[in-house]
Amino acid sequence: MSERKISDKSRTRCREIMTSKISAANGEMTLQTVAKMLRDGDIGILPVIEKETNKLLGLVTDRDIVVRAVAEGRNIETPVSEIMTTTLYTAKPDDFAFQAIRTMGDKQVRRVPIVDDEGVLQGIVSMADVALEMEDEREIAETLEEISSGAGFWKKN
């Protein structure tokens, strides 16, 4: 890749690669409702937002439902707010995309929600979004492998 292309890619903003049309749940929805949303959307994660403001409250994955709800014998009518992940690693739309990618590597997460200054959900940057942005297949494979590995590849030795 030429130096100019590398320079252009390093200036890519999150808003340019994020998926902005995303489904979201609210904290009052039941586990069953959210599980159906995940199934019907053929997705593994949903942002959980505040109903009135669209502020990001957490994330819920199919794994959260299994490990934190089903395995503990929770009722399907349990509000998703009781089992969602609330430790969030986010970025802003105007942040450089490489910062979101760095967060994925450092925190070993596959998606970074994009929020505005008020915490309102704007979109999500996923490993798939990163892959679509990169042109070199080897570069894509190496980046995805590093994000998925247990080692924090962004950390300096």
Q: Tens digits of per-residue pLDDT, 97-121? A: 989 989 998 999 999 999 999 999 9
Domains of the chain: 10-148 (3.10.580.10)
Question: Which token pair is 88?
Answer: 């969030």
> Side-chain half-sphere of 70: how many Cα atoms within 13 Å?
9
> Considering the chain, what percentage of its residues have pLDDT values greater than 70?
78
Between β-strands 45-49 and 56-61, what pairing exists: parallel, antiparallel or unpaired?
A: antiparallel
Compute the chain's Rg from CA coordinates: 17
pTM of the predicted structure, to 2 decimals:
0.79
Q: By C-alpha distance, which of 124, 137, 141 is closest to 15?
A: 124
Q: Locate tokens 């890519």: which residue?
A: 12
Q: By C-alpha distance, which of 105, 102, 115 is closest to 20?
A: 115
Report the 10 Å Cβ neighbour count for 149. 11
- CA–CA gap between residue 85 and residue 28 (Å, rounded): 15
Backbone phi, then psi, for 55, in 5-degree steps?
A: -70, 140
Report the 10 Å Cβ neighbour count for 73. 6
Q: Tens digits of per-residue pLDDT, 62-105? A: 999 999 999 999 999 999 999 999 999 999 999 999 899 899 98
